[in-house]
Amino acid sequence: MKASTRKIMAPFGAALFIAVSTTGSAAAGDWTWTATPYVWATDVGADVSINDRQVADKTIDFSDLAEDLSLAAQGHMEGRNGRHGVLLDLFYVHLADDDKRFPLPAPLAGEAIADGDLTLTILDAGGIWNPRGDGEGFSLIYGGRMVDRDIEIDARFQPAPGVTLARSYEVSETLYDGLLGARYAGRFTPRWTWAVQADASTGGTEQTWSALAGLGWSFGSRYTFLAGYRYMDIQFEKDDALPGEVDADVTLSGFFTGLRIAF
């Protein structure tokens, strides 16, 4: 198993163990579970400042990201036993792009050629407290969030004909936050449901928050088709390892669809 995979799976397994342990030792038959594989067609925005001066503010559309997509895994799992429950949500994406060309900023001439590799993992794990005990109405969400990012860029700069300069950049870190949020869910009809959710986390990141709104349509006794919109803002701690103080803000936003399976 690759080192990067072990780094992801270790917190994943630990978070699952902690989430289940916090709900007590109820018999397995008292639990109801749902698993939801989903697709989040997210646009990615990046806002980077050095010494409080903005140097980058760009949004990349999902259609452009899909061209560079190498691997993705997105899934949500919940278990409920009366008023108490657990949740686990994983968003993992690996993007790889070779020979990306872009012009050098003025006063330089020529262009840069970059080979990039980006892996982003966001893992939420924790508990749910629902006063009604049926999953509807208000629910309190509590637990932790892991944000893991690995960025590798090999760049070749060609400021003039016959002149090539090479440089490599790498950022690799795993951040852990405490998370607190709320959800409100209801029904239009026995088949049609709706839900809104918002949460915030801090600790390893300076601040991260997300919100979503979605609809569900149930068919059969076990399946629900889900669709909605989700927004997430990740503010990384200021990094003074490079010359100047670097402040980065990343946003993820877009529509999602999924299939919730009860068992």
Instruction: Indicate whether 181 pLDDT > 90.
Output: yes
What average pLDDT does this structure show over 7-14?
A: 49
Q: What is the radius of gyration, based on Cα positions, of the chain?
A: 21
Looking at residue 236, its pLDDT comes to 80
pLDDT value of position 51:
47
- How buried is residue 135: exposed, middle or buried, by Cβ count under 10 Å (0-12/13-18/19+)? middle
Q: Which of 21-35, 65-79, 245-259 has the lowest mean pLDDT?
A: 21-35
Dist CA 95 CA 72 (whole Å): 9
- 10 versus 34: the higher-pLDDT residue is 34
pLDDT at residue 125 greater than cutoff 90: yes
- pTM for the model: 0.75
Output the pLDDT for position 8. 46
User: Exposure string (b/e) for 194-223, b if CB count within 10 Å is 16 or more?
Assistant: ebebebbbeebbbebbbbbebebebeeeee
Q: Would you place residue 214 in the very low, low, confident or very high pLDDT band (cuts 50, 70, 90)?
A: very high
Q: What is the mean pLDDT of the segment spanning 198-214?
A: 95
User: Residue 260's pLDDT is what?
Assistant: 97
**Which pLDDT tens digit goes with each residue over 53-91?**
444 444 555 455 555 555 578 999 999 999 999 999 999
What pLDDT is stored for residue 139 in this prediction? 98
